[in-house]
Structure 1
C-alpha cells in the first residue's frame, strides 16, 4: 500500500483529535552537553542521509548498506539504507553494472554493532562501469577525501563506532567550527543491564578526517534487571510487570512487545525469501527489525523512568511456516493490529502531555506507518498466491481481529495513560477504528 495513502487516512482519522489542546511540558536536556549552535543530523527514512557527500572521485551513485549476522555463518544479504544519485548512470554496459551493484557485498564493514543481532555498514558507489565498495575506515576516508560538509563529518563519526539518532540532538547533532572542523554529538552503549550505560560523546572531526573525542557524559545508567530479547513466532506469556505507576506498566508492556517485534520481522524476512517474495519486501522487513531495536530502547527508557521493568521475551523455537500461515498472521497482526497501532502512535504524538513521550512517539509513529504499509504490501503480494478458500480464511480472520480490537479499546484506561501518554479515550479509540474499518477493512 502506498504509504502516502495511509498517512492521508490517518490524518482524516485524527482530525477530531486535533481539536484537543496540547499541554506542553517543561523542556530540558539534563546530563547533555550544551547544544547551542548544533543542528540535527541529516536523515532520510529515519537513517543517515548520503546526499551531502562530496566524494573523490565523484561517483554517479552512492548507497549506504547494512547487513546483519545472527550467529556463525548466518549472514544476511545486504540492504540499502540511503542512496543518492542514479545507479550506473554513465556505465557503457548498464546491465553488467547493475548486476555488479546488486552483488556488491563485503565480509565486514564499519560501525559494527550488536544488540539483538549484529549489523555492519558500508558504502557502495558506481562511476562509469566501476562498482566499488568502501567498508573500512581507510577506504571510507579515501573516498571522502577532505571532510568539508557536515554530513561527511557525521558519517566519519558513525563509521568510527558512535551511534547517531535522528531527530534528537542530544544523541545526534553536528555543527561547523570557525576553523573549518566539525563537532559531532553521538552516543555509545545502552542503558539496559548491570554495569551498562548510555554515554554521550562530543567529537571533533578535522578536515583530514581525524577524530578527537572532546567530551563524554553519562546520559543514563543501566538497570541491572533489564534484558534485551527478540520475538519469533511462539512468544510465551510472562509475568506482568509490577510497577506502582500505571505509566510504568504501560511502557514496560510496550517495550516488551517492541523488543519481541525485532525477531518477528527477521523471521518474516526469512519466510518471505523462502516463499519467493520480492527482494524489496524482504529488505523492508529487515529494515523494520532494525527500527524495532530502537523502539524497544526508547520505550524501555520510558518504562524505567516511570518505575516499570520490561520483561524479557521468552520464545519457542518453531519451524518456518507455510505461505498461508504467514499471510494469515500478516492479515491479522499487520493489516489490522499494526495498522491500528501506527494510528495510535500518531494520536500519542499529538496528544501526549509528557514532552519526552510525545517526542518518542513522533519517531515511532512514522516508522510504524511504514511497517503498516509493508503489511498491506505483503498482503497484496500473498493473496493472489492463495486459493479461494484460503483467501476467505484471511477475510474471516480479519473480521474477527477487528471485532476483538473493538472489545479491547472499549476498556477504560488509567487517566495518566490518557493524559501523559496520549492514548485515546475508549470513545475516541472506537471513532479511530470506525475510520479504518470504513476505508481498509470493509
Structure 2
C-alpha cells in the first residue's frame, strides 16, 4: 500500500513539474538584435526614429539610430530644423541596461512641425497605442525590463495568438550574490498589459555581482 501511495505521489509531482515548465511549441526564435522595424505608431508623424544611447558622461552619449521612418524636416528650413532635431536628447530613456554603466533606448519624432521626445515607458505606450505587431510587442517587453537572446528559442521567442502576443524572454531578478535571471512565458495584450503565464529560474551565479 505504501508503495502504491509513493508511486502515485511521484507521478503527481512529475506531472506538475511538466505542466509548469515553459515549452517553445508554436514559437519562433528572435533572430535580430534590434527587431523593431515594424512599428505602427498611433501618433501621426512626418518622421520618427528609435535611438540606442550609451551614456559616457553628463550630456555625453554614443548614439545609434536603430530604425527611422518618414521624411525629416519636411515643412521646415532643413539645416536649422535638422540641427534642432539632432540636439533633442532626453536625460533618461526606457529599457535601461549596461550595468554598471548605463544605456537606454529613446524615440523622437516630428509632428505638425514640432519636435517631440519619447523618453519613458508611459510615453512609449502613448506613442505606440495598441500593440499590434510583433516588433511593437518586443520593444514593449524591452521597455518593461525583460530581454531576449538572439537565435536561442529557449531564451527569446514570440508567437501571435488571437491578436495578442506570447513571448519567451528573460529578466534579471537579482544583481548580486546571486546574480539570477528568470525565464518568463508572457502574454502581451493589445493595450500593453503584460500577464506572466509561467516563470522559472534560468540561471544563477552565487558568487557574482553586476
Q: By the TM > 0.5 criterion, same fold?
A: yes
Does residue 1:132 correspond to 2:120, yes or no? Answer: no
Please, which of 43, 46, 51 is the counterpart of residue 65 of structure 1?
A: 51
Task: Judge conservation of contact 2:73–2:81 (CA < 8 Å) in 1.
Answer: no
- CA separation of 1:80/1:120 partners in 2, compared to 1, >3 Å: closer, same or farther? same
Runs of 4+ in 1 over 6 A off after TM superposition: none
Q: What does residue 130 of structure 2 align with?
A: 146
- CA separation of 1:127/1:203 partners in 2, compared to 1, >3 Å: closer, same or farther? same
Q: What does residue 50 of structure 1 align with?
A: 36
Q: Provide structure 1 residue ranges, at least 5 long, that are not aligned to the other structure.
A: 1-30, 229-442
Please, which of 184, 208, 218 is the counterpart of residue 167 of structure 2?
A: 184
Q: What does residue 100 of structure 1 align with?
A: 84
Q: What does residue 159 of structure 1 align with?
A: 143
Q: C-alpha root-mean-square deviation of aligned residues, in Å?
A: 2.6
Task: Judge conservation of contact 1:87–1:126 (CA < 8 Å) in 2.
Answer: no
User: What are the residue-to-residue correspondences of 1:37-436 with 2, within 5 Å?
Assistant: 37-41=26-30, 43=32, 47-69=33-55, 74-77=58-61, 79-88=63-72, 90-127=74-111, 129-178=113-162, 180-189=163-172, 194-224=177-207, 226=208
How far is the alpha carbon of 1:88 from its aligned partner? 0.6
Post-superposition CA distance 1:324-375 (Å, at most 9, x none): xxxxxxxxxxxxxxxxxxxxxxxxxxxxxxxxxxxxxxxxxxxxxxxxxxxx
What is the DSSP-based 3-state SS (H/G/I as helix, E as strand, rest coil) of the residue aligned with 1:171? coil
Rounded to whole Å, the distance in 1 between the matches of 2:60 and 2:150 is: 25
- CA separation of 1:64/1:115 partners in 2, compared to 1, >3 Å: closer, same or farther? same
Rounded to whole Å, the distance in 1 between the matches of 2:41 and 2:94 is: 18
What is the DSSP-based 3-state SS (H/G/I as helix, E as strand, rest coil) of the residue aligned with 1:203? strand
Post-superposition CA distance 1:128-148 (Å, at most 9, x none): 533221111221111101111
How far is the alpha carbon of 1:190 from its aligned partner? 8.0
Q: Provide structure 2 residue ranges, at least 5 long, that are not aligned to the other structure.
A: 1-19
What is the DSSP-based 3-state SS (H/G/I as helix, E as strand, rest coil) of the residue aligned with 1:101? helix
What is the DSSP-based 3-state SS (H/G/I as helix, E as strand, rest coil) of the residue aligned with 2:154? helix
**Across the two proteins, how many residue pairs are aligned to each other?**
191
What is the DSSP-based 3-state SS (H/G/I as helix, E as strand, rest coil) of the residue aligned with 1:55? coil
- Larger-Rg structure: 1
Q: What does residue 398 of structure 1 align with?
A: none
How far is the alpha carbon of 1:125 from its aligned partner? 1.9
- CA separation of 1:51/1:68 partners in 2, compared to 1, >3 Å: closer, same or farther? closer
Task: Judge conservation of contact 2:28–2:153 (CA < 8 Å) in 1.
Answer: yes
TM-score normalised over the length of structure 1: 0.39
Does residue 1:34 correspond to 2:23, yes or no? Answer: yes
Post-superposition CA distance 1:149-201 (Å, at most 9, x none): 111111111101111223222222211112x1111222112898522212112
Post-superposition CA distance 1:45-64 (Å, at most 9, x none): xx323321111224343322
- CA separation of 1:175/1:104 partners in 2, compared to 1, >3 Å: closer, same or farther? same
Task: Judge conservation of contact 1:41–1:154 (CA < 8 Å) in 2.
Answer: no
Post-superposition CA distance 1:286-344 (Å, at most 9, x none): xxxxxxxxxxxxxxxxxxxxxxxxxxxxxxxxxxxxxxxxxxxxxxxxxxxxxxxxxxx
Higher relative contact order (CA 8 A, sep 6+): 2
Task: Judge conservation of contact 2:179–2:209 (CA < 8 Å) in 1.
Answer: no
TM-score normalised over the length of structure 2: 0.78
What is the DSSP-based 3-state SS (H/G/I as helix, E as strand, rest coil) of the residue aligned with 1:162? coil
